[in-house]
Amino acid sequence: MLKTIKARTLRAGDGRFAIIASQYNGRYVNSMLRAARAEFKQAGAREVQVVRVPGAYEIPVIAARLAKASSSHASRITHHPSPLSAIVCLGVILRGETVHAAHIGEAVSRALMEIQMQHGVPVIHEVLLLENEAQARARCLDPKRNRGREAAQTALAMARVMSGLA
């Protein structure tokens, strides 16, 4: 069941966030990107870095680079005042006639999980593997169900959880 995303008032505090967004299936991903950026802006995020990549398969290498650079030691070397609070990954994979989409989806999911575990930076996985364009429209273009908005809300919530553990 596709749920409506509830409006929440989350504050970003001093949070620094990154969004990695695929260019492939741009109509859908761009809508999620706009929604995520709006949510971060509303929350008062200090910084939101956006990195565009060709497709979903390329998202993990950028997530790994950002997470590694965000480690406390790397942050001091690169002169970032604070590490990233969370990384949001946005993409849309539409199933076709072969299993290629499933392989891409599984590889991306596995890689993103490993990146957050290795570097201790929340990686919000909103790389959607969908059956068809109707599902993409419902999850990406409908403002009440836009998964970009939901991803930003999750990033804000995880940033709060992580800061509470420090």
Q: Quote the pLDDT of residue 2.
A: 64
Residue 71 lies inside a defined structural domain of this protein: yes
**Does residue 9 lie in a domain region?**
no
Q: What was the pLDDT predicted at 66?
A: 97
In the sheet with 123-130, reading across from the earlier edge strand, the strands are 47-53, 16-22, 86-94, 123-130
What is the Cα–Cα distance from 147 to 36, expressed in whole angstroms? 8
Say how many C-beta atoms besides its own lie within 10 A of residue 110's C-beta: 11
Please write the tens of the pLDDT for every residue from 47-79: 999 999 999 999 999 999 999 998 754 545 555
Q: What is the structure's pLDDT at 71?
A: 75
Catalytic residue set:
100
Residue 97: the pLDDT is 87
Domain annotation covers residue 8: no
Which pLDDT does position 56 carry in this prediction? 97
Is 47 domain-assigned?
A: yes
* Cross-strand pairs, 8: none
User: What does the pLDDT read at residue 75?
Assistant: 47
Query: pLDDT of 79-90, one tens digit each?
Result: 555 789 999 999
Assigned domain for 7 exists? no
3-state secondary structure the chain: CCCCCCCCCCCCCCCEEEEEEECCCHHHHHHHHHHHHHHHHHHCCCEEEEEEECCHHHHHHHHHHHHHHHCHHHHHHCCCCCCCCEEEEEEEEECCCCCHHHHHHHHHHHHHHHHHHHHCCCEEEEEEEECCHHHHHHHHHCCCCCHHHHHHHHHHHHHHHHHHHC
Per the structure, the count of domains in the chain is: 1
> Does some domain include residue 2?
no
Look at residue 3 in the predicted model and tell me its pLDDT: 66
Please indicate, yes or no, if residue 97 is contained in any of the structural domains: yes
The single residue listed with the structure tokens 């970032």 is 80
Q: What is the predicted pLDDT for the residue at 164?
A: 87
Q: The domain that contains 48 carries what CATH number? A: 3.40.50.960
What pLDDT score does 8 carry? 62
Residue 31 lies in a domain: yes
Q: Structure tokens of 35?
A: 């929604």
Reading the block at residue 127, the tokens are 């790389």
pTM above 0.75, yes or no: yes
20: containing domain: 16-165
Segments of the chain scoring below 50 in pLDDT: 73, 75
> What does the pLDDT read at residue 165?
86
Q: What is the pLDDT of residue 1?
A: 60
